[in-house]
Structure 1
């Protein structure tokens, strides 16, 4: 895993909370700091992750991890922006003879389209084509507009993981958009942790993998990304002001289920694990919508 602090948003007996993981337990930070900072978004905006980690380091856990329900780390980000086609092999999947694009492809997801670690991704009745996409998440800590690429990494507060689950046939439901197929309720996940960002080495060349039922499906390294983390931040901030707590999902390697012949869609009972060095493992099962 990692020796860096691991923050999580969770619910316990129906109450939303946030805390700091410690072994197989979690320290409830919201009962200590919730009046000042209601969620991890406000903690990040205050630049207080490191302070809270240090202050809580000697405290015992309040709950066992097995007794909590993980939520997405940032409960209500102002923006949740996803990057498409950001690994060379992924670009080649399109078989259109085109070189890697000059600028990132972007789309928006709603927080409601994600669920937390350890919870099922929901396959809707409208389509069986639920697919996985393992990705690294960056959370903005220092806002800005037209951020210089050389300074962009300094705007990151924390890292997490995403399974950017997609309903494939709804991605092409119209002439030119992907919004529908990317936003079915609870088809994706983010978590389990928010790991504070400290330096560029933390992101420079880490392995990202996705496994389905233990089988390796996706594997690549961040050093091969078409658009670096700093380029993504600089580009997005050109047209919109980034604010603390904004979530950016940075792209998936080749190997999603749609690329098999025939395609292999996720089905109830499957287990999907997205892992990245120093960040952790995001695990979800699959279930049909009730």
Structure 2
């Protein structure tokens, strides 16, 4: 089975480890003094070493003993790609062909939760939507990275529900940042798996289900902008550093495009899956639910 590295919270402390069928190997308990978190481990170039160590150990805890965090909680940058599948482009019904370059926007780490942690529907809007996506984790930094070299800068792959507040992406003339950054409105995880080669990502099937109903399905072979192109383009204007995460775009089928639109509500469950990456699962709760009045 493909190695699965994750970040977690247990007994009030942040840690990282290796997920195995029998539970979680706590690598941070053994090596946290050398590499405080997975970003530090990525930066040090020791991911393969940590996997080798973890595979030789028995689990220290069950998944039920931890709260999943996003795989790289301390990432310097999380950059998201908009409109990266042909059918998604067609949803806009503006008669325009796919653009020559990707649309991009930032997300803050605080806007994401980990696997099995509920998404938050905020008090400001009921229009919480889902977007299943694949995440690139940068392993080697760089600027002006050539497309031919781009994949050598990738250390891992993960999954994202790039949750969006649809009315808030229309609060300004052209700015979507507000609707993409409500606290806890999206998720990344459950882990990241090591990137190996082109074959691993050439034709990944990506799906999203809501309450067991298939809503999104497409393949990376149909992406408008390849992983190579995305990395090259972003590195033209900003320096990518180890631990940065790039969220690469969602297929058609989000709730906003249903007739009538169907928004996520408390009690719903969203499952994002992709070939070789597992399944990211999140419920939904209202902001402030469970707090004392």
Bin the TM-score by the shorter chain.
over 0.9
In the TM superposition, what is the alpha-carbon distance from 1:225 to its structure 2 partner?
0.1
1:222 corresponds to which residue? 220
Q: Pick from 190, 193, 200: which aligns with 2:191? A: 193
1:93 corresponds to which residue? 91
Say which SS state the counterpart of residue 259 (structure 2) adopts.
Answer: coil
1:151 corresponds to which residue? 149
Say which SS state the counterpart of residue 55 (structure 1) adopts.
Answer: helix
Counterpart-to-counterpart distance in 1, 2:277 and 2:31: 25
Say which SS state the counterpart of residue 252 (structure 1) adopts.
Answer: coil
Counterpart-to-counterpart distance in 1, 2:281 and 2:55: 26
Q: Pick from 122, 132, 140: which aligns with 1:142? A: 140
Counterpart-to-counterpart distance in 1, 2:215 and 2:180: 20
2:17 corresponds to which residue? 19
Mapping 1:249-264, distance limit 5 Å? 249-264=247-262
Q: Deviations over 1:164-212 (max 9, x none)?
A: 0000000000111000000000000000011010111110001000000
Say which SS state the counterpart of residue 94 (structure 1) adopts.
Answer: coil
Counterpart-to-counterpart distance in 2, 1:128 and 1:31: 41
In the TM superposition, what is the alpha-carbon distance from 1:76 to its structure 2 partner?
1.4
1:270 corresponds to which residue? 268
Counterpart-to-counterpart distance in 1, 2:20 and 2:106: 33
Q: Which runs of 4+ in 1 moved over 2 A?
A: none
Say which SS state the counterpart of residue 224 (structure 2) adopts.
Answer: coil
Q: Pick from 174, 180, 183: which aligns with 2:181? A: 183
Counterpart-to-counterpart distance in 1, 2:31 and 2:102: 38
Counterpart-to-counterpart distance in 2, 1:47 and 1:76: 16
Aligned Cα RMSD in Å? 0.6
| Structure 1 unpaired stretches of 5+ | none
1:50 corresponds to which residue? 48
In the TM superposition, what is the alpha-carbon distance from 1:24 to its structure 2 partner?
3.4
In the TM superposition, what is the alpha-carbon distance from 1:4 to its structure 2 partner?
1.1
Counterpart-to-counterpart distance in 1, 2:75 and 2:103: 20
Stretch of structure 1 that moved more, 85-94 or 57-66: 57-66
Say which SS state the counterpart of residue 217 (structure 2) adopts.
Answer: strand
1:118 corresponds to which residue? 116
Say which SS state the counterpart of residue 40 (structure 2) adopts.
Answer: helix
2:65 corresponds to which residue? 67
Q: Pick from 234, 237, 241: which aligns with 1:239? A: 237
In the TM superposition, what is the alpha-carbon distance from 1:46 to its structure 2 partner?
1.3
Q: Deviations over 1:197-243 (max 9, x none)?
A: 01111100010000000000000000000000000000000011111
In the TM superposition, what is the alpha-carbon distance from 1:18 to its structure 2 partner?
0.2
TM-score by length of 1: 0.99
2:80 corresponds to which residue? 82
Q: Deviations over 1:236-279 (max 9, x none)?
A: 00011111001100000000000001100000000000000001
Q: Deviations over 1:82-138 (max 9, x none)?
A: 000000000000000000000000000000000010010000011100000000000
Counterpart-to-counterpart distance in 2, 1:57 and 1:93: 45
| Structure 2 unpaired stretches of 5+ | 289-293
